[in-house]
Amino acid sequence: MTTSEYNMADTPRELYEQLPDWNWKWLMALGALMVLGGVVAFLNPFIASLTVELVAGFAFGLVGAMQLWLAVTARAQAMGDRWLTGALGVLLLLLAVSLLVNPLAGLVTLTIMVAVLFAMMGVMRMVMAWRVRPREGWGWMMASGVLSVALAVLIVLALPDVALGILGLFLGLDLTFSGIATIMVSWHIRQRQA
């Protein structure tokens, strides 16, 4: 299809047709529940942070157990690869146990991991912005990277106090924006079905 044959007005319909056949009422209810969860997380970020930590602990435990299972059952791998896979599984299980046994220390650990993630993403954005520097919009990418690094530094400087609530605030933001997006999708589906 050439550019001249492509009609921009068809894009929403094409996108709509690619979506599963969801009932818009269920999507609306899911979106409202997510927004409500976000509000609850904002009202008590400490409890929300502990919830994030417990979910992360169970997730690390599950992934660690799967890594150990792969190390034991994967006969096609070389012995060194199996040992490396097993060691990674043991490390993930130890991380899971440490998160679940001592939740307050686990909050600090996860908060440090989030700060490191923000710093790495910020540096990557800054490097990408520097590489595409003459192109339009590179400044916004650079500003986004600088902001991510600055946020990582602020999180580290505020430790350990910030660890008690920052993950809950991030959860609240994610649930709220995901809920709003889900509500908007359900609204579009409702408009298309009307």
pLDDT for the residue numbered 65: 94
pLDDT for the residue numbered 189: 78
pTM above 0.85, yes or no: no
Rg (CA), the chain: 22
What are the average pLDDT values for consecutive 10-residue runs of the chain, which has 194 residues?
Answer: 46 55 81 93 91 90 92 76 87 90 86 89 90 82 88 86 86 87 83 76
pLDDT for the residue numbered 64: 92
pLDDT for the residue numbered 21: 61
pLDDT for the residue numbered 15: 54
Of the candidates 37, 13, 6, which has an alpha carbon nearest to the alpha carbon of residue 182? 37
Do 185 and 69 form a contact (C-beta atoms < 8 A)? no
pLDDT for the residue numbered 2: 47
Structure tokens at 10: 């068809």
Residue 63 to residue 57: CA distance in whole angstroms = 10
Angle between helices 166-193 and 24-43 (to 10 degrees): 160
